[in-house]
Amino acid sequence: MERNGIGKYENYITLGALIVVMGSLPLLLSNSYHLSIMAFIGINTMLAVGLCLLMGYAGQVSLGHAAFYGIGAYTSGILTTTFKMNPWLAIGVAAVFTGVVAYVIGVPMFRLKGNNLAMGTLGFGIIVYIIFVEMRDWTGGPSGLTGIPSLSIFGFTFDNDLKYYYLIWAIALLFLVLSLNIVNSRVGRALRSIHGSEIAAETLGVNTNKYKIQILVVAAMYASVAGSLYAHYLTFINPQPFSFKLSIEIVVMVVIGGLSSVWGALLGAATTTVLSEVLRGVIPQFLKGATGEYEIVVFGIILMVVMIFLPEGLFSGSVRIVKSWRREKESKQRTVDETAIVEPSSVVAEGHLAVEDK
Amino acid sequence: MLDDSTSAVMTNGSLLDARNLRKSFGGVVAVDGFSFTVKRGQIVAIIGPNGAGKTTAFNLVTGVHPLTSGEIHFCGQRIDGLKPYEIAERGISRTFQNLQIFGNMTVAENVMVGRHPRSKAGILSAALSLPNARAEEKRIFEVAMQNLKVVGLAHRAMDAASSLPFGSQRLLEIARALAVEPKVLLLDEPAAGLAGQETKDLAQLIYRIRDSGTSILLVEHDMELVMGVADWVFVLDYGKLIAAGTPSQIQSDKKVIAAYLGEEMD
Amino acid sequence: MEFYQQVLQYLVTGVTLGSIYAIIALGFITIYNVTGIVNFAQGEFVMLGALIAISLYKNQVPIVVAFVGSVMVTTLIGAALQRIAIRPAKGASTLTLIIITIGASITIRGLGLITWGPDPYSLPAFSGDQPIAFGGAAIIPQSFWVFGATIVVLGGLYAFFEWTLLGKAVRACAINVSAARLMGISPSSMALFSFALSAGLGAIGGVVMAPMTLATYDMGSMLALKGFVAAIVGGFTSTPGAVVGGFLIGILESMGAGLISSGYKDAIAFVVLFLVLFLKPNGLFGGRDTGRGGL
Ligand SMILES: Nc1ncnc2c1ncn2[C@@H]1O[C@H](COP(=O)(O)OP(=O)(O)O)[C@@H](O)[C@H]1O
Ligand SMILES: [Mg+2]
């Protein structure tokens, strides 16, 4: 069956192709700067996929997603430095903890509809950021935590960009697969029904609140794992990357990718990460002495333009336009080729074929 | 579809029993002391001028709006105060006067959502694509296709729901509500915007649904349809019940005629 | 300083802060009531108001003219925002509109950064810096301007909505768009007007507060958030509710910062938000049961 413009088999093919490409990419990029950017695309993919489920599928905006990312990073950081916990265990504990936090704030938050939810999550993001800065005894305050151990397993230590690249992408792809499965399931349909018409969904037996909270928890846990990996990869953290600006960037990733497209989230993460990096290099060249967050102008314009003209997102929107354009061409051809009237029964049969395809 | 244990607990033989429903929105009393019942196997209609409170009554029964006062009993149990999804799980589903199609899904998927309360796969088994979830997904699809056949939309199953013409979208809402396997199906102006022949087909469809064991509560302006299919008619005006009876009793009721004439004048 | 004096001082500061939040909250609900949109760029109007006034003043424009000029320019920017970004997305979902106004917010903020750079600016107080003693607390004269501005804005809005035809048209639109259209009121012009009005309100808030805080390109987001919380506390549709909400947040924040910890100052508004959401989701003054679903 067709979903987000990509069929199920196409999903497997895309996934296979992606594994091959991501697996062999390091052979082309030996430069550690490029590798680290690729690793960050993987981390951002985890963030974007989660938000895509929440925002694109369930239609619930979160402007505080960076907070979950930060909670993951800090929980891992604190557990492995102050408490000397095993890093892998810490990643799991952090994910569960972040999930619990998401649940606890999700319950009151989802009493808010649309607009207010956005502000509520924004506020949550700000509170968490303030906590990172202010709880110095735990978080090290503005200067952060250092000495977070690298990950290692059975004597194999992840001690360079290449190794982290593979680790991060293995997990990012795992999250992609899990998300695709969720999307193509009863639960995914329930999520989309909330976006389509919340009232209709409820009267058809969908406990909309339950699913909103569940998907928030899933998205938060993805972000938490991304944060933990970030912490172990860089071995130090401070509050700065977990601010409102990142929350907005994650929204940009999802919007570029296509709100309800899991693959789009990956594309959006890649585009946004690279764009952000390029802008950081380019802007100071024509704005002398520019040191601030100038790139937000570009992101702001992207958000407005895409939402005005392609509200389903840049990637999905373009796919849809190309498809409908192709279909138009096909149907024109068909009326030319086949003058015979299409029997209704044969159309029904086609429908059944599609059933078997599934 | 009803087993004996549920019919045993039913009071006075009615499946759905609404007592003294009242709903006010700020100052507007949309439904004012309205009582009605739907018995097993019946087609019951609620009619009344625009703004009489018919849709609001549906919203109360399905839990979309909380009651201001009154009680709703279904299969002998109180259902007022329950969440809409809980009411759906118990066997009441509906269509909407202002269509609430899931425009972001295919026709088949719309109906598959209706199977939600009759299926189980949770987020974990879905994420891991466990065999039981996959098998269930297949069954959901099959049942959805059957429901689409009932309303005659099987051939459009794979199309985007938003691409259907208006009349077919109304039918899609019926198929979707049927997928819940309701004991009572609430239809809110199903004939609005339908052409002559489509309305005749709709009447047949309503009979077929009733014959398959689902009782029907119908809100409709098309009097020919109502008087043709309904076993019993309740008439609302300004939120109040002004008459109830068989179609022929209603047609000769002075109050009803006055209410409708009043509407025509303004 | 005695404890009681300290509390009084915090109270004074809180009322001043609260006045600003109240003006911003009024901006939020003006747009919301007419269009159903929560405008995430509301805080940017405050920033623009402050920085434009400062720029004008730096170029030898008298303060009064700078004030009026800044409010007018910002009003135009608000109108332009509605025409450029909101109107083309006609019929869009709430989600889409939220993202558009967020995009607008960070675009304006970024443009602010390009125009004024990251450095803070200040404006001299309108009527001197000599504090006035008040029962042991010191009040800077600018506080009266801020407080006065809120009262004037509130009174002005009240008079406008109650006594003018245009105001009544805006209200009609807020109550029922299609009925308003039948009466010959164009919802699109009303939407334009609400954005312009709201931008103007934000700018007034920005100018009067500029002498008390340093104005920067990114001052808007935090102010907008607190104004938003104030509006939520007040029920989000009620004008007096928004003002009371503003004062409440301002006072709680000032007390909390003074008596508990200044580091968590910015978190206080959100703690209030969560408490309100938990205990009274319709706001402290809202009890209305309105399904905006309209089936
Ligand atoms: N969600 C709501 N909020 C406020 N008033 C409502 C709402 N729903 C219905 N009403 C009012 O209740 C009355 C009855 O409406 P409705 O039930 O839709 O009538 P009908 O379906 O019989 O045409 C009308 O006056 C309508 O304006
Ligand atoms: Mg109705």
Q: What is the pLDDT of residues B149-185, one digit of tens each?
A: 999 999 999 999 999 999 999 999 999 999 999 999 9
C294 lines ligand 1 (CB under 6 A): yes
Task: Locate A342 and state its tokens.
Answer: 């299409």
> How does the average pLDDT of chain A come out, rounded?
84
Q: What is the pLDDT of residue C136?
A: 78
Q: For the segment B67-101, what is each residue's pLDDT rounded down to a tens digit?
A: 999 999 999 999 999 999 999 999 999 999 999 99
Q: Residues A38-50: what's their mean pLDDT?
A: 96
Inside any domain, residue C235: no
CATH architecture group of domain B1-91+185-266: 3-Layer(aba) Sandwich (3.40)
Q: Residues B136-161: what's their mean pLDDT?
A: 95
Q: Name which of B144, B133, B141, B209 is nearest B179 in CA terms.
A: B144
Q: What is the pLDDT of residue C1?
A: 57
Q: For the segment A239-258, what is each residue's pLDDT rounded down to a tens digit?
A: 999 998 899 999 999 999 88
Q: Residues C3-18: what's their mean pLDDT?
A: 89
Inside any domain, residue C131: yes
pTM for the predicted model, two decimal places: 0.87
pLDDT for A1 beyond 60: no
Q: Which atom of ligand 1 is the closest one to the Cα of C293?
A: 1
Q: Would you tell me which residues 50-79 of chain B have a C-beta closer than 8 angstroms to some C-beta of chain C?
A: 55, 59, 64-66
pLDDT for A357 beyond 50: no
pLDDT for A301 beyond 70: yes
Q: What is the pLDDT of residue A289?
A: 62
CATH architecture group of domain A8-311: Orthogonal Bundle (1.10)
| Higher pLDDT, residue C41 or B13 | C41
Any alpha helices (H) in chain B, and if so which ranges? 4-9, 54-61, 84-90, 107-114, 123-127, 131-151, 166-178, 196-211, 223-229, 247-251, 254-265
Question: CA-to-CA distance for A211 and A91, rounded, in angstroms?
Answer: 25
Partners for B (CB, 8 Å, 3+ pairs)? A, C
Question: CA-to-CA distance for C47 and C27, rounded, in angstroms?
Answer: 14
DSSP A218-283: HHHHHHHHHHHHHHHHHS-B-SGGGSHHHHHHHHHHHHHH-TT-HHHHHHHHHHHHHHHHHHHHHH
Work out the pLDDT band at A355, boundaries 50, 70, 90.
Answer: very low
Contact C198, C247 (CB under 8 A): no
Work out the pLDDT band at A346, boundaries 50, 70, 90.
Answer: very low
pLDDT for C178 beyond 80: no
Residue C72: domain span: 22-220
Question: CA-to-CA distance for B206 and B176, rounded, in angstroms?
Answer: 14
The per-residue b/e assignment along A63-102, b for 16 or more CB within 10 angstroms, e otherwise, is bbbbbbbbbbbbbbbbbbbeeebebeebbbbbbebbbebb
| Higher pLDDT, residue C85 or A289 | C85
Work out the pLDDT band at B64, boundaries 50, 70, 90.
Answer: very high
Q: What is the pLDDT of residue C172?
A: 77
B68 lines ligand 1 (CB under 6 A): no
Question: CA-to-CA distance for B12 and A352, rounded, in angstroms?
Answer: 45
pLDDT for A5 beyond 70: no
Q: Residues C256-275: what's their mean pLDDT?
A: 85
Q: Name which of A106, A123, A101 is nearest C270 in CA terms.
A: A123
> For residue A34, how many other CB atoms are within 10 A of its CB?
15
- Number of independent structural domains in chain C: 1
Q: For the segment C90-142, what is each residue's pLDDT rounded down to a tens digit?
A: 778 888 888 999 999 999 999 999 999 889 999 988 888 888 887 778 888 88
Q: Residues C186-193: what's their mean pLDDT?
A: 86
Work out the pLDDT band at A21, boundaries 50, 70, 90.
Answer: confident
Question: CA-to-CA distance for A94 and A92, rounded, in angstroms?
Answer: 5
Q: How close is the Cα of B96 to the center of ligand 1, in Å?
A: 13
Question: CA-to-CA distance for A258 and A252, rounded, in angstroms?
Answer: 10
Q: What is the pLDDT of residue A315?
A: 77
Q: What is the pLDDT of residue A23?
A: 80
pLDDT for B202 beyond 70: yes
User: Is B27 an 8 Å CB contact of chain C?
Assistant: no
DSSP B121-151: --HHHHHTT-HHHHHHHHHHHHHHHHHHHHH
Please state which of the ranges B4-8, C88-92, C167-171 shows the lowest mean pLDDT.
Answer: B4-8
B59 lines ligand 1 (CB under 6 A): no
| Domain boundary assignment for chain B | 1-91+185-266, 101-181
> For residue C92, how many other CB atoms are within 10 A of its CB?
17
Q: For the segment C150-170, what is each residue's pLDDT rounded down to a tens digit?
A: 899 988 888 888 888 888 887
Q: Residues A160-174: what's their mean pLDDT?
A: 91
Q: Residues A103-119: what's their mean pLDDT?
A: 77
**Ligand 1, residues B24, B50, B56: which to mutate, most atoms within 8 A of Cβ?**
B56
pLDDT for C292 beyond 50: no
| Higher pLDDT, residue A30 or C133 | C133
Please state which of the ranges B23-37, C150-164, C201-215, C239-253 shows the lowest mean pLDDT.
Answer: C150-164
**Hey, CA dihedral for C174, C176, C181, C184, is it positive or negative?**
negative
> pLDDT > 90: what percent of chain A?
52
Work out the pLDDT band at B12, boundaries 50, 70, 90.
Answer: low
User: Is A333 an 8 Å CB contact of chain B?
Assistant: no
User: Is C28 an 8 Å CB contact of chain A?
Assistant: no
> pLDDT > 90: what percent of chain B?
83
Provide, for chain B, the percentages of residues in helix, strand and coil under a 3-state DSSP scheme, each rounded to the nearest 5. Answer: 45, 25, 30
Work out the pLDDT band at C237, boundaries 50, 70, 90.
Answer: confident
Query: Nearest chain B Cα to A182, which residue?
Result: B127
Q: Look at C288 and B26 and tell me if their CB atoms are within 8 Å.
A: yes
Q: Residues C19-37: what's their mean pLDDT?
A: 91
Question: CA-to-CA distance for C148 and C142, rounded, in angstroms?
Answer: 10
Q: Residues C213-237: what's their mean pLDDT?
A: 89
Q: Residue of the nearest CA to atom 7 in ligand 1?
A: C294
User: Is B162 an 8 Å CB contact of chain A?
Assistant: no
Q: How close is the Cα of B55 to the center of ligand 2, in Å?
A: 4
Inside any domain, residue C3: no
Q: Residues B20-43: what's their mean pLDDT?
A: 93
